[in-house]
Structure 1
Amino acid sequence: MKSHTTSAASEGLIDVHAHALPPMFLAAIEAAGGDPSGFPSPDWSPQAAVNSLNLSGASLGILSISAPGVSIAGTGQAARNLARALNAQLASYATSSETSSRLSFFGALPDWQDVNGTLAELDFLFSQQKLCKGVTVFTSYGSYLPSDPLFKPIWDRLNHYRALIFLHPTTLDIIPRFVAGGLPQPVIDYPIATTRAVVDIIFSGIMRDYTDIDIILSHAGGTLPYLANRIECLLLNPALANLASISLEDVKASFAKLYFDTALSTSAAQLDSLLIFTNPDRVLFGSDFPYAGREAIAAVLEQYYAFVATNTRGSALRPEVLRENTLDLLARHEHRDD
């Protein structure tokens, strides 16, 4: 794999889509019978995360707990304890003398079906610990999408803390669960889960009403850039528009507010579609390490740098542009004292 190592920590990309697999998380997955998405848990360590940053030419990685997240432990006290332990472990990577200059994190939350536990963890992250760059939110919790009225207190609290949200796909409870006789859901279903969740969030009015949050969509927004015009055009049908509780103008404004990472999404088809759909200042770098291994990251980086060098839109996504986009977004969501 070609190295894109930068000359100083103050330069280079910022990886907003890099996962951590602390031992306690792996133990919880094993105790539950494995990852329900069908994807095998890869090897991970803090040093491996730093090595991946070096190979990508990234100076900073923002770690997150990937699907299935804390939900793997249910919705009781054991799951609350797991969320707290994971946030303590993530904070240790962000403050350790060996990795603090290279690693930060998005906080882990309990399954949102445990509303009170989620509110308590948000208070811990933003009022006590004050180290996370934002929080990871999943595309569904059990049979609930993120905008369900059950979760309104959580959105209220997220907006109160001006939280940056990293929206990550999780397992779809569908039959059959896997295509092609066992292909893990991250291959095909995760981009669809992302699209369903963000459309749900937008059509519920969350992006319109909660003005102090921002949302990063994984994997270039799933299929949203491709389907957005279809959604807008169908809302011109009065019968369908009457089913929505949000205007076409508000839908378009909500689309424009979203951020997108490039994890496993750097082909010309994907990046061209993304730049047709949104402005370049909404695009951030992501690797999906370690679920994307060295070979996959090498391939997407090669595609990315080829796009920058040869595509007529390529200069809009130069590494320094993606870095500045991320720095601006993180500055908007720095912790404040309330």
Structure 2
Amino acid sequence: MSAQRIDTHIHALPPVYVRALEAAGGDPSGYPTPDWTLEAALHSMDALETSVGILSLSTPGVPIAGTGEAGRKLARDMNHYFGNSTTKCKYNNRFGFFGVLPDWQDVNGTLDELDYLYQEQKLCNGVTVYTTYGDKLLGDKHFTPIWDRLQQYKALVFLHPGVLAVEPQFVASVLPQPIVDYPIATTRAAVDLVMTQTVRRCPDVDIILSHAGGTLPFLAERAIGSLAVPEIATRLGFDMVKARDDFSRFYYDTALSASPAQLHGLLDFADPSHILFGSDFPYAPQFAINAQMARYAAFVATDQRGSDLSPEKLRENALTLLNKHALKKKIQ
């Protein structure tokens, strides 16, 4: 049991969400919406020897319902579903969840849902946040009250990439945005959070970046180096030392990120204690997850740095982070 995995990047598509997604015209990222049930998630977890999965709602999420009452209701319905499902005895403590929030452009609705999650329901392991809302990155001043509330609750944030408003929308006119654009969206959001000093203003908020941080391990030094330009550093009121320190605070999951190039890049950039396991089920089909796991296992078994990412280490990392932010019951 000690080596069994804890999956911090495993998605859920409850019926209420699927109906709302269909009513909104489908997933704007161009990616097909997979079939999903809790039982299918359990089957995948068992195949991977995963003991606990922290369910989350992938992009596009609640923002498909807009910034009004419909969005607030969908978020609450989703949190009721997650709360009820993850506490059922039949699942034997196999699931946790990242709470669902309205579109952040509805600041008051988002604050209300955070209060519900942390003061009333008290079941979530953290909250899911997307990389952009409308035309705003997460460090936008419009969202300062939300970050203040997250800091108040010492929340854990699972940061998932969102749809990018770019033209042309799809590479090669066909490839859905998750293939190329989502890693870029994560990178832009992470750099924005550091350069706007949002990370620095929220010392008790921990942030998990999806898919090994996208391209962040490759591009962060470029962002940090920009602060050597006096005009940029002056406008931001920031310096390279602080930026480097704030980048080091991020956590990373390994969802769809098991190649030697990705894992070496991550180890070159991040502390090994900040790396977590993620499967990306069901958006990654089981055969793709199995292929990723085979590559990961080969890396652990044959690479001289493989022991830094052993199943035992990734499980320990997840336990430490999740239990740091536990509201009630801790994960064993």
- TM beyond 0.5: yes
Per-residue deviation, residues 58-113 of structure 1 (Å, max 9, x unmatched): 10000000000100100110110000000010112211122242111000000000
Query: Which residue in the other structure is 1:31 paired with?
Result: 23
Contact kept in structure 1, 2:8 and 2:55, CA below 8 Å: yes
Given the two structures, how large is their TM-score scaled by the length of structure 1?
A: 0.95
Aligned ranges 1:134-153 → 2 under 5 Å = 134-153=126-145
What residue identity is the alignment partner of 2:32? P
- Counterpart selection for 1:15 from 2, 7, 28: 7
Picking from 60, 64, 87, the partner of 2:56 is 64
Partner of 1:130: 122
Whether the 8 Å contact between 1:29 and 1:72 is mirrored in structure 2 is yes
Displacement of 1:244: 2.3
Match of 1:251 among 228, 234, 243: 243
For residue 194 of structure 1, the aligned residue among 177, 186, 191 is: 186
Task: Structure 1: give runs of 5+ residues left out of the alignment.
Answer: 1-7
Give 1:30-49 correspondences, 5 Å limit: 30-49=22-41
* Alpha-carbon spacing, 1:305–1:73, altered in 2? closer, same or farther (3 Å): same
Query: Is 1:46–1:99's contact at 8 Å kept on the other side of the alignment?
Result: no
Pick aligned residue for 1:161 from 150, 153, 156: 153
Q: Is 1:75–2:57 an aligned residue pair?
A: no
Q: Quick check: 2:137–2:189 contact (8 Å CA) kept in 1?
A: yes
Per-residue CA deviation, residues 148-205 of structure 1 (Å, 9 max, x unaligned), is 1111110000000000000000100111111111210000000000000011111111
Q: Is the 8 A contact 1:21 1:65 kept in 2?
A: yes
Q: C-alpha distance in 1, partners of 2:283/2:229? A: 41
Matches of 1:49 and 1:142 in 2, distance apart?
31
| Distance in 2 (alpha carbons) for counterparts of 1:170 and 1:100 | 32
Residues 247-268 of structure 1: per-residue CA shift (max 9 Å, x gap): 2111101111110000000100
Number of aligned pairs? Answer: 328
Counterparts of 1:204 and 1:50, CA distance in 2: 40
Cα distance between partner residues in 1 of 2:116 and 2:236: 36
Select which of 111, 115, 126 maps to 2:103: 111
Q: CA-atom RMSD, angstroms?
A: 1.0
Alpha-carbon separation, structure 1, partners of 2:216 and 2:170:
22
Task: Quote how far apart the aligned CAs of 1:329 are.
Answer: 0.5
Q: Distance in 2 between matches of 1:157 and 1:239?
A: 32
Report whether the alignment pairs 1:310 with 2:283: no
Alignment-derived partner of residue 265 in structure 1: 257
What residue is the counterpart of 1:170 in the other structure? 162
* Structure 2 counterpart of 1:232: 224
Q: Aligned equivalents of 1:197 and 1:274: distance in 2?
A: 17
Q: Aligned residues: percent identity?
A: 55
Aligned partners of 2:216 and 2:248: how far apart in 1?
12
3-state SS, counterpart of residue 243 of structure 1: helix
Which runs of 5 or more residues in structure 2 are unaligned? none
Relative to structure 2, which stretch is displaced further, 279-288 or 326-335?
326-335
Distance 1:301 1:52 in 2: 12
Deviations 1:4-59 (A, max 9, x none): xxxx4x64110000000001111111001110000110010001111111111210
CA distance in 2, matches of 1:242, 1:157: 28
